Amino acid sequence: MDNTQIDAIVSEMARQARLASRKLAALPAEVKNTVLLKTANVLMEQRDFIAEQNERDLEAGRKKGLSSAMLDRLSLNDRVIGSMVDGLQEVAALPDPIGGIDDMKRRPSGILVGRMRVPLGVVGMIYESRPNVTIDAAALCLKAGNAVLLRGGSEAIHSNLALAKLLQDVLESENVDSASVQVIPVTDRQAINVMLAQERYIDLVIPRGGESLIRFVAETSRIPVLKHYKGVCHAFIDSDADIDAAIRIVMNGKTQRPGVCNALEGMLVHKDIAKKFLPQAAGKLIAAGVSLRGCERSCSIVPEVQAAADDDWGREFLDLIMV
């Protein structure tokens, strides 16, 4: 597929999203909630189909040599599907945000001025690896009356398209324009360039992923960008910490899902508890396959800890590595 074809596909999808957003903005809350709840049921009913499409992505990832942490991010197992279902139900239960008025103030002229919540229009989401974001982002956008154009990572293309198809089927069953939720079916990075130039149709772009992706989007987009940078979560173990509780927290934060952006990447340990805490914590972490890197003092307390390089501090590993 050449750049001209990619440009045509993405531009038309953005145009269709804009048209859908006009009707979606006035959609009753009851219809939006019905779509979300029906989608939750469909995800449970179509688990085999989802697993089949997800396995295509996982198999391709294994052939590419993706790490176990990255494959975990890519997986749509029963636990992840259950989490998506829970998320849809929770969003459906939220009060409808559209039309609410607050901060009313009377001006000296006598007029009342306030703020009314209205939809943005069309949101563009660019994300990597985690196909569950397809459902999470679509649910939030639909609830807020926004159409959404999604561009996931190439490694999750089959999973993303499958999830979008299920949601679009539900939208059509409720007489809602299926262009309200679309996944760009192009894995070429040129699709992102074209998407970021659609300021006529897209009102806001939200990138979710690594620092390089977010910087690229922020520097390239003609559209306003809502961004973050690194996760790089740390745990501070204070001098009077409950050691058993602290170890459980650290183990959960690092080993449960090391490839997600809110995984634990570092520990800062108070010097007064270091000699007692570090050997116990390190033993548990190393047994779970975590590679530990640390300062000179940490290495002297736990010989198995490797000396950290300068660029390890503040680094987002997204793997079984911690400083």
Q: What is the largest CA-CA distance in the chain?
A: 74
* pLDDT at residue 228, rounded to an integer: 80
Place of tokens 């198995």: 304
Do the Cβ atoms of 98 and 119 come closer than 8 Å? yes
Options 1.10.357.140, 1.10.3370.10, 2.60.120.560, 3.40.605.10; which CATH number does 3-220 get?
3.40.605.10
User: What is the reported pLDDT for 151?
Assistant: 97
Phi, psi at 36, each rounded to 5°: -65, -45
125 touches 183 (CB < 8 A): no
Residues of the chain with pLDDT under 70: 230
Whole-number Cα distances in Å, 294 to 30, 100, 276, 312: 54, 51, 16, 9
* Sequence-separated (6 or more) residues with CB below 8 Å from residue 284: 247, 251
Give the pLDDT score at 301.
Answer: 95
Spell out the domain ranges in the chain: 3-220, 233-322
SS3 235: strand
Residue 95, C-beta contacts closer than 8 angstroms, at least 6 positions apart = none
47-64 and 157-173 helices, crossing angle to 10°: 160
Q: Which CATH class is domain 233-322?
A: alpha beta
Q: How many Å apart are CA 57 and CA 156, to the nearest integer? A: 6
pLDDT reported for residue 258: 86
Is there a contact between 182 and 151 (Cβ–Cβ < 8 Å)?
no
Q: What pLDDT sits at residue 69?
A: 81
Question: What kind and span of H or E run contains 147?
Answer: strand 147-151
Neighbours of 80 (CB within 10 A): 20
Please give the DSSP secondary-structure letter assigned to residue 182: E
CB-based burial of residue 133 (10 Å sphere; 0-12 exposed, 13-18 middle, 19+ buried)? Answer: buried
Give yes or no for a contact between 48 and 96, defined as CB atoms under 8 angstroms apart: no
